[in-house]
Amino acid sequence: MQNKCCRRYRFEGIDNFRDLGGYECDGGVTNYGVFYRSTELSHATNADIKKIADLGIAAIVDLRHPEEVRVRPDNYPKSCVYKNINVQGSITPAHLNVHQHVENTCTLWHMYKQLLTFSGAQFRTAIEFLATVQGPALFHCFQGKDRTGLVALFLCAIVGVDEKDCIADYEVSHTYVKGRTTDVTGSCFKNMENLLAFLHKTYGGVKEYLFSIGVAEKTCQQIRDKFIRAEC
């Protein structure tokens, strides 16, 4: 399959599968076919696996906790490099600061703040891997909205995507994952707004947070080199 300028792809056993291309950014627009995001791949069918391969995806970054990986391992093409980077770090699932039974909760940003505070090294590793991988990369967590949403925010911030677009990109996950699990927490825009306010107040912004956890300017430039298309 030739890469298309397509924001969302339809799969049989994968949801919320989206391309981060098409956003205006510093110096142009984000390239299609570079970074993809999705739910976990544990229910990927043979047709889904073929579609991932046809998109030319070279690497899969699994952001889930090792226990999630053990219970629900990914199905993916043999041609893909697979890397599990647990961005929860030392935080166990039971200790995540989340009101998981509140529908479309506006309190998820407390969990995001917790992850950013205690798992900076893991997020740095994820960004560094995505910066250096040869070819398109897919990153995901469970529903592709929380941990995945944070990594998407970082990639978009590095290239200067407007924060309003980052909020909108986060918020749409609710629509694409609704009904697929018993998790009803959603992706209310207030979570991303509050998280961004926290990052600006505490660090000076998203990129400043990344620098504080050790993400180098060289890494950011590697992201820019492949993620920005100069002409709109």
Checking if the pLDDT of 97 tops 80, the result is no
Mean pLDDT of 67-75: 96
Antiparallel, parallel or unpaired: β 8-9 and 17-19: antiparallel
Question: For all residues of the chain together, what is the average pLDDT?
Answer: 93
pLDDT over 90 at 101, yes or no: no
pLDDT digits (tens, 9 = 90+) for 141-199: 999 999 999 999 999 999 999 999 999 999 999 999 987 777 778 899 999 999 999 99
HSE value, Cβ hemisphere, 13 Å, CA-based, for 19: 23
The 24-25 sheet, strands edge to edge: 24-25, 28-30, 228-229
How many other CB atoms are there within 10 angstroms of residue 9's CB atom? 18
Q: What is the predicted pLDDT for the residue at 104?
A: 81
Handedness of CA 119, 127, 50, 29 (dihedral sign): positive
For residue range 25-42, list pLDDT tens digits in order.
999 999 999 999 999 999
Distance of CA 19 to the CA centre of its chain: 10
Q: What is the DSSP letter of 94?
A: G
The mean per-residue pLDDT over the stretch 9-21 comes to 97
pLDDT score of 202 more than 70: yes
Phi (first) and psi of residue 136, to 5 degrees = -60, 150
Strand blocks (E) in 20-128: 24-25, 28-30, 35-38, 59-62, 81-84
Give the model confidence (pLDDT) of 39-65 as tens digits.
Answer: 999 999 999 999 999 999 999 999 999
Map residue 20 onto helix, strand or coil: coil
% of the chain with per-residue pLDDT over 90: 84
Strand-pairing partners, residue 37, are 18, 139
Rounded-to-integer distance, Cα 29 and Cα 225, Å: 12
Mean pLDDT across 207-216: 98
**Could you tell me the pTM of the whole model?**
0.95
Q: What is the pLDDT of residue 183?
A: 77
- pLDDT of 231 over the 80 cut: no
Q: Name the residue with higher pLDDT: 201 or 5.
A: 201
- The residue ranges of DSSP E strands in the chain, in sequence order, are 8-9, 17-19, 24-25, 28-30, 35-38, 59-62, 81-84, 137-140, 228-229
> Could you give the CA distance from residue 50 to residue 43 in angstroms, rounded to a whole number?
14
